[in-house]
Structure 1
């Protein structure tokens, strides 16, 4: 199966054009050409994912930009690292909430499957009730000294300043602090996703972006009851993409714009004649629309070089490299997607 960013067929010329303006949070915003690229990119990128899951050697797209550069999946939960988190961390092992919480944050502080595997190889089952700082720090420090990269480059994880020399040592101290100060219990007892996020935001070196990413990861667990449509925080990359779609008038209402995209997705896929059936029927959620703005920001650096974002970045750093490793497709059972094929 080959996919590309689809132009609207001539036979569908009667379809409504791109809106001259959209109203969000009381503001009238004028979409740029990147706005329609957002929807075309989402449809094409999801088609690539579906083609890969169906098997076959590829290529999976004839869009030159998609073929050359690396872009994450439309659905955050479908990406390889999230799949490892869901299948190998959250739902594998003791399902006591403290243990699920500990495993999830320990994995996400490094966000790298090889680091998690190192810990599993060193300690067998990774558990809070058997945790020992010196042992965990020794295992990580030995790997670091041998040249192993401990952190993912997906996003910057600021080092907490908790008295240790190494970043990973301070992150272990931070995790200890969260666990021993009632963090797991306060997150679980939060009445809303925002309140759970605010618990994490109160700890050192966990800013708004990381706190939101962490709470979404914790919310994959069976014990967390929240919808991914409850709350969103726009990260730096998403703010760049939003600026490219709507211009400077979007400043300060980024979360409202992300919600607008999630709530009107069917309208715009239909308007553009795009096929998008979601993730086994699951529509794009707020976290997915947030991530898509990050990816469209990158795509637009090549497709719309004349439309500026905030950061001023003009190149896409990561090239696409085929990965022959099988892709998992296992999602939180509470989403009830397994029966939707």
Structure 2
């Protein structure tokens, strides 16, 4: 986060500040063009982290969102950045990192996933319609691990122990879908139809 907050102090609301940041830094300073023409995921990340209000976590999340679109298209396994929640989860899973980084732990998990599934009897694990877990997925898994353990095993607290938000079920129906480039949305529709038929038979 290298931008200056001062130039946005004239705007009262956080919403207005962010919109102006997008206008100035993405459009007028043509960062969006740089993102479109980037040669790698980490280059997209480094462009985003230059922006005011974007720290490491948001830069990585927005980089991932860009890469889910048809505009940016890089291998998801070429770059990962551990967020705060994932770091807490990693600390609860690894006793001593030694010389390795949190990102190394995520890559280690991906490289050894099948090995540990077999070792601990999780052979029934099903991936997402043939789509294997990516680094971003495992980063998210460590973050969720931290959340679950804060409730189930508070005695192994690391850093933050408070759950800041509770899940609230949306009032309206959400039509979920995956990035079209994954080519699995047709499988979701088929799965939903089959599940509906099973419920009717039941």
| Interval of TM-score (by shorter of Structure 1 and Structure 2) | 0.7 to 0.9
Asked whether 1:338 is paired with 2:189, we answer: no
Show the counterpart of 2:135. 286
For normalisation by structure 2, the TM-score amounts to 0.79
d(CA) in 1 for partners of 2:157, 2:47? 35
Show the counterpart of 1:273. 121
What secondary structure, in the 3-state scheme, does the structure 1 residue paired with 2:61 have?
A: helix
Show the counterpart of 2:69. 221
Contact 1:160 1:174 in 2 (8 A): no
Show the counterpart of 2:197. none
What secondary structure, in the 3-state scheme, does the structure 2 residue paired with 1:219 have?
A: helix
Q: Displacement, 1:249? A: 2.9
**Which sections of structure 2, spanning at least 5 residues, go unmatched?**
192-202
CA deviation vs aligned residue, 1:140-188 (integer Å, no higher than 9, x gap): xxxxxxxxxxxxxxxxxxx944232221111111001111111111001
Show the counterpart of 2:58. 210
What secondary structure, in the 3-state scheme, does the structure 2 residue paired with 1:280 have?
A: coil
For normalisation by structure 1, the TM-score amounts to 0.49
Asked whether 1:237 is paired with 2:89, we answer: no
Which protein, 1 or 2, shows the higher relative CO under an 8 Å CA cutoff with sep ≥ 6?
1
What secondary structure, in the 3-state scheme, does the structure 1 residue paired with 2:156 have?
A: coil
Kindly indicate which of the two structures has a greater share of residues assigned to helix.
Answer: 2
Asked whether 1:295 is paired with 2:144, we answer: yes
Show the counterpart of 2:198. none
d(CA) in 1 for partners of 2:94, 2:111? 17
Show the counterpart of 1:194. 42
Q: Displacement, 1:204? A: 1.5
Show the counterpart of 1:307. 156
d(CA) in 2 for partners of 1:296, 1:243? 10
Supply the RMSD in Å over aligned alpha carbons: 2.3
Q: Displacement, 1:192? A: 0.5
Show the counterpart of 1:109. none
Q: Displacement, 1:233? A: 0.7
Residues 1:329 and 1:251: Cα distance change in structure 2 (over 3 Å)? farther
Residues 1:269 and 1:329: Cα distance change in structure 2 (over 3 Å)? farther
Contact 1:278 1:284 in 2 (8 A): yes
d(CA) in 2 for partners of 1:295, 1:206? 22
Show the counterpart of 1:172. 19
Q: Which structure 2 residues correspond to residues 45-60 of structure 1 after superposition, within 5 A?
A: none
**Which sections of structure 1, spanning at least 5 residues, go unmatched?**
1-158
- The count of residues paired between Structure 1 and Structure 2 equals 181
Show the counterpart of 1:42. none
